[in-house]
Each structure stands twice: as C-alpha cells, then as structure tokens.
C-alpha cells in the first residue's frame, strides 16, 4: 500500500518562473502542476496544500513557527509531510520545525535552485526524492530532514553553501545522512545529537551579530538599548572577540541579556580555550555561554524558542548551556 503524504507549499524558486521584463517571480501554477504530476502517483498517495507562496527571504520566525504548528496538526492524517520552500531560508525553517515539532513521523523540506523556466530544473526531481524519503519507514524519528540534489541532510547540520549550483546544500563537517538512489533510499549514518524545545510560542526579540576585524560595540549597544532578550555573537574561531568588546558584553549580561557565543567559522565547536581578555575562556567567565557547534542563525532560533517557553533568562541559560555539544 502506498504511503499517504501531504505536500505543503510555501513558495520559493521551486514555485517560480521567468516573466518577461521582470525576472524570476512566483507563479500560481505550482500546486496544479503537482496535483497532475504523473510520477508522484507511483510513489505515494499525495495531497497538496497551499500554505503560502512567498520568496523565502520574506519568511519570518513567526511564520516558520506557525508552519510547524500546521505540520503537527496535519500530519495526524498522513504518514509524512513534505514541505516545499525557498532555498534562501530553508535551513532556518527546517531547523525551527525540528526544535518545536512533536511528531516523530517523517517531515522533509525541499526546494529548488532552478525555476520552472530553467533548463535542467531540479524542483520535480527534488519533490519525487523527498516524497520517497517521507514515505520510507526508515525515515521515522530521524528529525526534520532536508532533501536536495538526491542527498538527505539533517535540518540541524545543513546549510546553503552556494548561490547558484544545484549541489548548493551541504552538512559541513558531518556530511549527509544518506541519499536517494533510483532503487531505494540509502541511509549510511544517523545523527546522535537531537534536541527539542516544545513551546506554544516564540519570543523573537533576539539579535544576531557577526564579528569582523576592528568592529566596535555599536550593535551590542543597540541591542541593549532595544531591550533585546538574547544576543548571539558569531565570534572568531573557537569563540574569541577583541578585548575592547568585553565591557559591552558584561553590560549586556548585567542587563539580563543571554549572550551566546557561536563561531563565524564554517565547521567546529566553540571552546573555552583562550584565556586572554576576550578569548573564549575569558568570555565564558563573564557569563557568556557557548553555542557549541551550532551556527549563529540556528542558535538565534533556539533562543527564540527557549524564551517562548521560559520567561526567566536563567532558565534559558541553563537549558542552552546544558544542551550544547
Ligand atoms: N530566492 C529564492 C527563495 O529562497 C531562492 C530559492 O528558492 O532558491 O525563495
């Protein structure tokens, strides 16, 4: 018997075409295309739900969260869900869903680097691959997955690494969980690190600041003045910053702001190694907490979920610090 899969459409290039004079823009044809896509019928019993039709730079954390709630409700009637999305922010939406979803059934995000007007378009192939992954019993309880270019990635590890290539998505440092072959879905590893933050709401008052050589504290001042609840800083290397930012970080912490130190490097963990002023060990002694191997954009979403769940910054600190790799 075929699996029952719901495809939820949110927009992105996968649902776009080239319009004369305008360039690549959303169309309303994608849902109908999928409903009459013959190869899909061989793979699963598919329903299509139009959720939104936006370019993914328009996606907000609140919209991602509302989508997660929709998935949790809808999946009760299905064996799995495939969600189509724009590539620009799919890793964020997939990660937030991974944190907050309560279902253990397969939830797969997919997208396309090429629009419906492009030669060698990847959207239909990615859809078929995703529906096959969502229909596969081995995909149960693997967390939210992202299927692109015949590869299966975890939402936590995957990132968009290229602006134009079809193989734009990689799980840097870890590699994909598996791949989509013509005869079967092949899983060749599993992820040992899984986490959930089950919450009824998000608190989006969290900032992300990227370190660069010679930067001053103006963005940290701005966050403090704005009354932000958490600041994620993508620091250098193992999680180091210049000494002259330390007083600003201490002021933020004194203002009960949770400060999380991630790295702007592409792979590896933040570690309390360097003892010089502003070094990772020194920053952690001021009360800043380590983001481990989580990239800044994902640490920001995790703080949003944690502040949605706990009002007390100490609870957030405790959970965050205790859950890091
Ligand atoms: N700008 C597009 C989006 O994220 C890119 C894509 O889907 O590939 O909506």
Tell how far the Cα of 315 is from the centroid of ligand 1, in angstroms: 36
User: Is the pLDDT at 151 greater than 90, yes or no?
Assistant: yes
Are 214 and 312 contained in the same domain?
Answer: yes
Domain extent for 113: 4-187
- Give residue 211's pLDDT band: very low, low, confident or very high (50, 70, 90): very high
Domain-located, residue 119: yes
Are 159 and 218 contained in the same domain?
Answer: no
pLDDT at 43: 94
For residues 209 and 215, give the distance between their C-alpha atoms in angstroms, rounded to a whole number. 11
User: Is the pLDDT at 322 greater than 90, yes or no?
Assistant: no
Domain-located, residue 110: yes
- Is 55 close to ligand 1, i.e. is its CB under 6 Å away? yes
- Is 113 close to ligand 1, i.e. is its CB under 6 Å away? yes
Mean local confidence (pLDDT), 79-92: 98
Which residue from 16, 30, 55 has its CB within 8 A of the most atoms of ligand 1, so it is best to mutate? 55
Are 54 and 150 contained in the same domain?
Answer: yes
Q: 63 in helix, strand or coil? A: helix
- Give residue 323's pLDDT band: very low, low, confident or very high (50, 70, 90): confident
User: Is the pLDDT at 315 greater than 90, yes or no?
Assistant: yes
Are 263 and 179 contained in the same domain?
Answer: no
For residues 279 and 240, give the distance between their C-alpha atoms in angstroms, rounded to a whole number. 4
Using CA atoms, how far residue 64 sits from 132, 233, 292, 304, 317, in Å, is 24, 22, 24, 12, 23
User: Is the pLDDT at 324 greater than 80, yes or no?
Assistant: no
- Is 258 close to ligand 1, i.e. is its CB under 6 Å away? no
Using CA atoms, how far residue 290 sits from 87, 113, 203, in Å, is 28, 34, 20
Are 183 and 210 contained in the same domain?
Answer: no
- Is 136 close to ligand 1, i.e. is its CB under 6 Å away? no
Tell how far the Cα of 15 is from the centroid of ligand 1, in angstroms: 9
| Domain finish residue from 157, 187, 217 | 187
Are 170 and 294 contained in the same domain?
Answer: no
Domain-located, residue 213: yes
Task: State the CB neighbour count (10 A cutoff) for residue 77.
Answer: 9
To 5 degrees, how large is the angle CA 239–CA 259–CA 211?
45
The domain that contains 289 carries what CATH number?
3.40.50.40
Domain-located, residue 201: no
- Is 56 close to ligand 1, i.e. is its CB under 6 Å away? yes
Are 172 and 222 contained in the same domain?
Answer: no
Active site residue 13: yes
Which residue from 10, 111, 163 has its CB within 8 A of the most atoms of ligand 1, so it is best to mutate? 111
| Domain finish residue from 137, 158, 187 | 187
Domain-located, residue 200: no
Nearest CA to ligand 1 atom 4: 86
- Is 13 close to ligand 1, i.e. is its CB under 6 Å away? yes
pLDDT at 325: 64
- What's the pLDDT tens digit per position in 51-69? 999 999 999 999 999 999 9
- Give residue 296's pLDDT band: very low, low, confident or very high (50, 70, 90): very high
Are 69 and 155 contained in the same domain?
Answer: yes
Q: Which residues pair with 233 in a beta bridge?
A: 209, 261
For residues 85 and 66, give the distance between their C-alpha atoms in angstroms, rounded to a whole number. 14
Domain-located, residue 197: no
Are 238 and 178 contained in the same domain?
Answer: no
Asked whether the beta carbons of 186 and 179 are under 8 A apart, the reply is yes
Domain-located, residue 272: yes
Half-sphere exposure of 75 (CA within 13 A, CB side): 22
- What's the pLDDT tens digit per position in 9-50? 999 999 999 999 999 999 999 999 999 998 999 999 999 999
Are 100 and 25 contained in the same domain?
Answer: yes
The domain total for the chain is 2
152 Cβ contact partners less than 8 Å away, ≥ 6 residues apart: 133, 145, 146, 176, 177, 178, 179, 180, 185, 187
Mean local confidence (pLDDT), 212-223: 97
DSSP classification of residue 149: T
- Is 133 close to ligand 1, i.e. is its CB under 6 Å away? no
Report phi then psi at 257, rounded to 5: -85, 135
Are 74 and 136 contained in the same domain?
Answer: yes
Q: 319 in helix, strand or coil? A: helix
pLDDT at 88: 98
Are 166 and 307 contained in the same domain?
Answer: no
- What's the pLDDT tens digit per position in 221-267? 999 999 999 999 999 999 999 999 999 999 999 999 999 999 999 99
Nearest ligand 1 atom to the CA of 13 is 7
Is 76 buried (19+), middle (13-18) or exposed (0-12) by CB count in 10 A?
exposed
Tell how far the Cα of 12 is from the centroid of ligand 1, in angstroms: 4
Q: Is 51 left (phi over 0), alpha (psi -120 to 50) or beta?
A: alpha
Strand (E) or helix (H) holding 23: strand 23-26
- Is 111 close to ligand 1, i.e. is its CB under 6 Å away? yes
- What's the pLDDT tens digit per position in 104-147? 999 999 999 999 999 999 999 999 999 999 999 999 999 999 99
| Domain finish residue from 159, 187, 215 | 187
**Among 10, 13, 87, 228, the one annotated catalytic:** 13
Domain-located, residue 196: no
The domain that contains 36 carries what CATH number?
3.40.50.1170
């Amino acid at each position: 018997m075929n699996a029952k899969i719901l495809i939820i459409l949110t927009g992105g290039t996968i649902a776009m075409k080239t319009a004369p004079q305008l360039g690549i823009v959303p169309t309303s044809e994608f849902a109908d295309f999928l409903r009459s896509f013959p190869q899909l019928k061989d793979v699963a019993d598919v329903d299509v739900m139009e959720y939104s039709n936006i370019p993914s730079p328009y996606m907000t954390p609140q919209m991602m969260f509302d989508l997660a709630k929709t998935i949790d409700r809808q999946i009760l009637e299905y064996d799995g869900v495939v969600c189509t999305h724009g590539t620009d922010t799919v890793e964020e939406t997939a990660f937030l869903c991974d944190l907050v979803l309560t279902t253990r059934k397969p939830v797969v995000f997919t997208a396309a680097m090429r629009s419906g007007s492009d030669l060698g378009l990847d959207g239909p192939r990615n859809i078929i691959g995703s529906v096959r992954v969502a229909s596969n019993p081995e995909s149960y309880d693997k967390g939210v997955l992202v299927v692109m270019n015949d590869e299966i990635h975890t939402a936590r590890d995957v990132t968009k690494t290229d602006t134009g290539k079809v193989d734009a998505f990689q799980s840097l440092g870890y590699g994909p969980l598996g791949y989509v072959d013509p005869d079967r879905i092949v899983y060749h590893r599993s992820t040992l690190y899984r986490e959930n933050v089950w919450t009824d709401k998000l608190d989006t008052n969290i900032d992300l600041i990227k370190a660069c050589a010679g930067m001053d504290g103006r963005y940290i001042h701005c966050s403090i003045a704005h009354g932000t609840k958490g600041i994620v800083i993508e620091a250098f290397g193992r999680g180091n910053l210049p000494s002259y930012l330390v007083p600003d970080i201490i002021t933020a912490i004194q203002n009960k702001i949770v400060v999380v130190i991630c790295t702007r490097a592409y792979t590896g963990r933040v570690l309390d190694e360097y003892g010089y002023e502003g070094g990772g060990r020194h920053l952690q002694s001021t009360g800043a907490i380590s983001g481990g191997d989580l990239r800044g954009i994902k640490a920001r979403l995790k703080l949003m979920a944690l502040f949605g769940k706990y009002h007390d910054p100490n609870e957030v600190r405790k959970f965050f610090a205790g859950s890091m790799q």
